[in-house]
Amino acid sequence: MREIRDGKVIFNEEIQIPVRPMIGTIGTAPAVEAILSGGMGQHGGNLDAEEICAGSTIYLPVNVEGALLSLGDCHAIQSDGEVNEIEMRSVVTLSCEVIQGRSPVMSWPRIETPELMVTVAVACPLEEALRLALRDMILWMEELTGMSRRDAYWLVGIAGHVRPGQAQVSLYSMRCLMPKKFLPKSQLQARLLRP
């Protein structure tokens, strides 16, 4: 366990790393079965995506009445793949909005930051999670911008990034990140799906 002081993780007196607080686990109840909150899937769960932080919007499906949103596993900072992390006691304030009739092609959780569009997918093996995250990003870009799937595929291949989320369990989460500044329609860069 490392000390957190003045907005930094104190590794030792020489090495001090600025915190990047994030929510490791956030999700709604899945449609067909009850699972532990640490499980992962299309409903969200233990995704360990550093982009789930202050100022971000996460889009999750509502599968059951009331959604049954849960969250936890907050970290002061964490590496991709959750090789290790610094847990922290947290008080989290969220605002939730139900968006009815949105995104008929949304298969997996999506995250929007001021600079990025992020898709997250979960599967085993890791390569399948990567393929699903890329596919959902291509579909999201097509939906938002009207560009063809082929062009979206090429643009993600040139300007996008892929990163692991949770890689310490029997399922893996992978993220596909696309900088908004490279989207073809400037009016979408500022707000995407936000009202």
pLDDT tens per residue, range 71-105: 888 888 887 777 666 666 777 777 877 777 666 66
The amino acid occupying position 91 is V
pLDDT at 57 over 70: yes
Q: Which of 52, 50, 32, 51 is closest to 42 using CA atoms?
A: 32
Q: How confident is the model at residue 195 (pLDDT cuts 50, 70, 90)?
A: very low
Q: What is the model's pLDDT at position 159?
A: 97
Give 174's strand partners.
Answer: 121, 164
Residue 154 or residue 29, greater confidence: 154
Query: Which residue has 């938002």 as its token pair?
Result: 144
Per-residue confidence band for 189, with pLDDT thresholds at 50, 70 and 90:
very low
* Per-residue confidence (pLDDT) for residue 48, from 0 to 100: 87
Total of domains in the chain: 1
pLDDT > 80? residue 150: yes
Q: Is 173 helix (H, G, I), strand (E, B) or coil?
A: strand
What is the overall mean pLDDT for the chain? 84
> Greater confidence, 44 or 2?
44
Owning domain of residue 62: 3-191
**Per-residue pLDDT at 143 exceeds 50:** yes
Q: Which of 12-16, 32-36, 43-47, 81-85 has the lowest mean pLDDT?
A: 81-85
Is the model more confident about 83 or about 51?
51
Q: What CATH number has the domain bearing residue 63?
A: 3.10.28.20
pLDDT at 194: 47
Span 114-127, average pLDDT: 94
Q: Token digits for 139? A: 């579909």
- 176 versus 33: the higher-pLDDT residue is 176
Q: Which two tokens stand for residue 159?
A: 């300007």
